[in-house]
Amino acid sequence: MQISGPMPDQNFPEYFSLARLNINRCLAPGECPDMAIAAHSVQKSRFIKQLAEDGHVLTVKLDATARNGLSIDLHSVGINQATTFTGLCANHDNAIFSPIEKQEIDFNNSEQLFLLAYRCAVSELHEQMVSAIRVQGGYTNRVRKGIDSGTVPSQACLQATQRLVLAYEAYQYKCTLDAALNERRFKFLRHEVIRVPTQMATVAGNSVYSVDDVNVGDSWLRVHLNVLPISQSETVVVFSYVKDASKKALHHLAPVLSSQDGSDRLKLSQFIIDGCGNTVFRPSFVHSWSHTKHDAVLKYFLDSAWKPQLDRIAEDLGVFALET
C-alpha cells in the first residue's frame, strides 16, 4: 500500500518526467575520462545478500503526478540492481575500495571506516548531480511550454538554482575527502560504531545527510551513515563525521549513543529512516508488519524526505528484528 502526500513544489511533476536521466562520469579524485559503471554503494555479496529472498530485497520508491501528488511505496528490486549508482569507473572503483571489498571489515580500522564513509559521499554527490540535472530539465520544460517565462525569476527557477547549489556543495565536501584520501589522512573522519544484536538481518543502507541547523564553518554538519548486516545475528551501524566537528556531531548523535536499551534502538531506527534514503529491507520482515506500522514507516519516510523529523516521538518504526 502506497502513502500519498501533497506535491512539494511546482517543478516536481516535470522532475519525475525526467527521472530516467542519469550521469555516467567517473567522480574519482582528479579528472578521469572513463565511463562510470553501475556499482553497489552497499556491498552485494557481503551485506545485501544477508537480506535477500529469492534474489530480491525491498526498497523505497517515490513517484509523483500532477493529479495525485507525491506518493511513496516499498517495491521489490533484484540484488544486482539494489543500491547501485554510476559514480566511478571500474578501475577507480577497484583501486579505491579494494581494502573493503577484498578484506574482512575491521570496525577498528581507520582506513576501512574512512572508505565506507567515502563511498557514501561519492554516491551522494552522484545523486545530487542527477537531481540538479533533472530539476533544471524540469524547469527548461516549463519554459518551453510557456509555463515560466525564462526571463523573470519564478519558484521553479529558484528550485533549479537551489539544486545546483546543493550539488556544488556536495562536490566541495567530497573534494575535502578527496584530499584526505590522497594523503591517506584517514583519521580526518571520526566514527561511532553501534552493534545491534538481531534475530535476523532486516535492513541495510548508506547515505550522507546534513544537519541543516548545525553550522560547521561556512556549511553545515554532515553525517555519513552505514547500516551493515554483517550476519543474521548482528547489524553494525556506523556514523561518521569530520573530526573537527566532533562536538557538534556527538551532540546530534547523543540520542542513539547514550545507551543501548530498546528505546534507543527505536531511536536508531528513526535516525536510519530519517537520514538514509538509500535503504533496502528483507521482504518477509516488511510483510510481517501490521498495516499500521507499514503506513507509519512510509509516512515517516515521506515526511522526512523534505524536513528532518528527529524531534518527533515516533513509535512503531523499528527496522530491526531485535533479540528478546
Quote the pLDDT of residue 186. 98
Q: In this predicted structure, which of 56-60, 195-199, 210-214, 307-311 has the lowest mean pLDDT?
A: 307-311
What total of structural domains would you count in the chain? 2
State the pLDDT confidence band at 151, using cuts at 50, 70 and 90: confident
In sequence order, what are the residues at sequence separation of 6 or more whose Cβ sits closer than 8 angstroms to the Cβ of residue 23?
36, 86, 126, 129, 130, 133
Quote the pLDDT of residue 290. 94
Q: How many CB atoms lie within 10 A of CB 127?
A: 19
Quote the pLDDT of residue 324. 58
Quote the pLDDT of residue 31. 87
Quote the pLDDT of residue 190. 98
pLDDT digits (tens, 9 = 90+) for 8-22: 444 444 434 434 445
1 compared with 303, residue with greater pLDDT: 303
CA-CA distance, 268 to 303, in Å (whole number)?
17
Clarify whether residues 38 and 159 are in a common domain: yes
Question: Whose grid coordinates read 511533476?
Answer: 13
Clarify whether residues 13 and 87 are in a common domain: yes
Residue 291: Cβ-neighbour burial (10 angstroms; 0-12, 13-18, 19+): exposed
| Residue 106 near residue 186, CB atoms below 8 Å | no
Clarify whether residues 167 and 67 are in a common domain: yes
Clarify whether residues 161 and 237 are in a common domain: no
Clarify whether residues 138 and 150 are in a common domain: yes
Closest C-alpha among 54, 324, 315, 46 to residue 204: 46
156 compared with 242, residue with greater pLDDT: 242
Q: Which of 187, 207, 238 is the last residue of a domain?
A: 187
Report the C-alpha dihedral over residues 137, 143, 144, 147, rounded to 10 degrees.
120
Sign of CA dihedral 305, 126, 24, 205: negative
Clarify whether residues 100 and 7 are in a common domain: yes
Closest C-alpha among 76, 82, 120, 93 to residue 35: 93
Bridge partners of residue 95, in order along the sequence:
none
Mean pLDDT of 101-119: 97
Paired sense of beta strands 3-5 and 203-216, if any: unpaired
pLDDT at 205 over 90: yes
Q: Which domain holds residue 300?
A: 188-322
State the pLDDT confidence band at 7, using cuts at 50, 70 and 90: very low
Q: What average pLDDT does the chain have?
A: 86
Q: Which three cell numbers stand for residue 187?
A: 583519521
DSSP 279-306: EEE-HHHHHTS-HHHHHHHHHHHHHHTT
pLDDT above 70: percentage of residues in the chain: 86
Helices 262-275 and 291-304: crossing angle, nearest 10°? 50
Quote the pLDDT of residue 276. 78
Q: Which of 187, 202, 234 is the last residue of a domain?
A: 187
pLDDT digits (tens, 9 = 90+) for 292-303: 999 989 988 888
pLDDT at 66 over 90: no
Mean pLDDT of 167-172: 88
Q: Which of 187, 203, 226 is the last residue of a domain?
A: 187
Q: Which three cell numbers stand for residue 291?
A: 498495516
Clarify whether residues 158 and 42 are in a common domain: yes
Q: Model pTM?
A: 0.88
Clarify whether residues 15 and 128 are in a common domain: yes
Q: How many CB atoms lie within 10 A of CB 18?
A: 16
271 compared with 3, residue with greater pLDDT: 271
CA-CA distance, 172 to 169, in Å (whole number)?
5
pLDDT digits (tens, 9 = 90+) for 219-264: 889 999 999 999 999 999 999 999 999 999 999 999 999 766 666 7
**Phi/psi at 30 (nearest 5 deg)?**
85, -155
Residue 164: Cβ-neighbour burial (10 angstroms; 0-12, 13-18, 19+): middle
Clarify whether residues 195 and 47 are in a common domain: no
DSSP 40-101: ESS-IIIIIHHH-BTTEEEEEEEEEETTTEEEEEEEEEETTTTTEEEEE-HHHHHHHHHHHH
177 compared with 136, residue with greater pLDDT: 177
| Residue 234 near residue 197, CB atoms below 8 Å | yes
Clarify whether residues 223 and 177 are in a common domain: no
Clarify whether residues 96 and 182 are in a common domain: yes
Sign of CA dihedral 93, 97, 99, 104: negative
pLDDT above 90: percentage of residues in the chain: 56
Quote the pLDDT of residue 85. 93
| Residue 181 near residue 307, CB atoms below 8 Å | no
pLDDT at 118 over 90: yes
Clarify whether residues 181 and 201 are in a common domain: no
